[in-house]
Chain A
Amino acid sequence: MRKFILFLVLLWSTSALAGVEVHKFDNPEQEQQYNRLVAELRCLVCQNQNLADSNAELAQDLRQEVYEMIQNGATDQEIVSFMVARYGDFVLYRPPFKSTTAFLWIGPFIILAVGFVILLMFIRKRRQSAAVELDETEQARAQQLLNDNNETDTP
């Protein structure tokens, strides 16, 4: 039990340490801009985290950079191009659409379309194999069975 409590205390202490800086903003728009940007920019040290979530030292520095640029009235576009000029498109969680990233953006739709075509072909093939051709005697027999059925159904 004591170990468990210690464990909980340790958990709490790390979460208390994460993202310690407090930034003061002149207006709520700037705060929104800051939160939007640090959520969109990738931390280059822990590559599956954005700047907002990462506790890496570089992420702290870049958050500070974003904060200062916002304080100086920079637009989203200016801050994003500042980051891209230094770290490349990799820093963006949503890379821009261009020749090198075209497959990234269109790829999933192409694969979806291919899958859909294969599915259609599969369904069509099954339908064709299900339609069995009957010769004349078989057709006559089928007709007779249907007629018999009709007679018994309607008294």
Chain B
Amino acid sequence: MWRYLVPLGIFVVLVVFLGIGLKLDPREVPSPLIGKAAPAFTLPKLQQPEQTVSPADYKGRVWLLNVWASWCVSCRAEHPVLNQLARSSEVPIIGLNYKDGREVAQQWLRQLGDPYTASAFDEDGRVGIDWGVYGVPETFVIDKRGNIRYKHTGPVDQKAVMEKIMPLVHALEKEPA
């Protein structure tokens, strides 16, 4: 009896573990920045280089930081979702234009629409490193006190907006500043 049950048991455990392993996405690296203060930066705006963008400008508000680039194919895929979110004007979306060219990036926004309240121009990717960016596009949710509360790696889709991002934004808006 045991002769059959033991290998069967081991097999079942193995299948369960491999099954869990299949469901995990190795690209999803948990960010150590969740719950910590958003890294500070002051960068020129993409469209108006003489003006600057800084997370400090949005203290007291819940906002999103979306890391994007014109060379990033998945950014094109998520762009309509961001445009739609921007039209609802429920939450400001700040763009972090990561390792891009000023001309092509502006062209990209003219062509596909500009959902960003402001886009910071991070030409050398230094700010990206500070925010732990490793796979553009990435989207962060920042609370009123300037802490990062959530990070979405990869293109945001309608489902992520409806089920994760917006419920969190609404909950954070109830928090005291």
Binding site for B on A (CB under 8 A): 44-45, 47, 57-58, 61-62, 65, 84-90
The 10 A-B residue pairs with the shortest CB-CB distance in the complex, in nearest-first order: A44-B134, A86-B132, A88-B32, A90-B29, A87-B132, A61-B125, A58-B134, A88-B30, A45-B134, A47-B26
Count: A-B pairs, CB below 8 Å:
37
Q: Told that A45-B134, A61-B124, A89-B32 touch, could you supply 6 new A-B pairs with CB distance under 8 A?
A: A44-B134, A65-B129, A86-B32, A87-B29, A88-B29, A88-B31
| Interface positions of B from 111 to 161, Cβ below 8 Å from A | 124-125, 129-135
| Interface positions of B from 79 to 130, Cβ below 8 Å from A | 99, 124-125, 129-130
| Residues in A neighbouring B133, C-beta threshold 8 A | 58
- The contact sample of 14 A-B pairs, CB cut-off 8 A, is A45-B134, A47-B27, A57-B125, A58-B125, A58-B134, A61-B124, A62-B129, A85-B32, A86-B131, A87-B32, A88-B30, A88-B32, A90-B29, A90-B30
User: In the complex, are the beta carbons of B29 and A86 less than 8 A apart?
Assistant: no
| Residues in A neighbouring B130, C-beta threshold 8 A | 86
| Residues in B neighbouring A44, C-beta threshold 8 A | 29, 134-135
| Residues in B neighbouring A47, C-beta threshold 8 A | 26-27
Q: How far is the CB of A95 from the nearest CB of chain B, in Å?
A: 12
| Residues in A neighbouring B131, C-beta threshold 8 A | 86
| Residues in B neighbouring A57, C-beta threshold 8 A | 99, 125
B contacts with A: majority SS: loop
A contacts with B: majority SS: helix
Q: How far is the CB of B70 from the nearest CB of chain A, in Å?
A: 14
B33 within 8 A of A: yes
Residue interface bits B41-64, CB-to-A below 8 A is 1, else 0 = 000000000000000000000000
Q: Whose C-beta in chain B lies nearest to the C-beta of A48?
A: B26
If the complex has contacts A44-B29, A47-B26, A57-B99, are A87 and B134 also in contact, measured as CB distance less than 8 A? yes
| Residues in A neighbouring B30, C-beta threshold 8 A | 88, 90
Q: How far is the CB of A132 from the nearest CB of chain B, in Å?
A: 22
Q: Whose C-beta in chain B lies nearest to the C-beta of A91?
A: B29
CA distance A87 to B27 in the complex (A): 12
Q: How far is the CB of B24 from the nearest CB of chain A, in Å?
A: 13
If the complex has contacts A45-B135, A57-B99, A58-B134, are A86 and B33 also in contact, measured as CB distance less than 8 A? yes
User: Which of B27, B132, B133, B135 has the most chain A CB within a 10 Å cutoff?
Assistant: B132
Q: How far is the CB of B122 from the nearest CB of chain A, in Å?
A: 11
User: Which of A44, A45, A87, A89 has the most chain B CB within a 10 Å cutoff?
Assistant: A87
CA distance A86 to B133 in the complex (A): 8
Q: How far is the CB of B130 from the nearest CB of chain A, in Å?
A: 7
| Residues in B neighbouring A90, C-beta threshold 8 A | 29-30
| Residues in B neighbouring A84, C-beta threshold 8 A | 32
| Residue from B26, B124, B125, B129 in contact with A86 in the complex, judged by beta carbons closer than 8 Å | B129
User: Which of A58, A62, A84 has the most chain B CB within a 10 Å cutoff?
Assistant: A58
| Residues in B neighbouring A85, C-beta threshold 8 A | 32
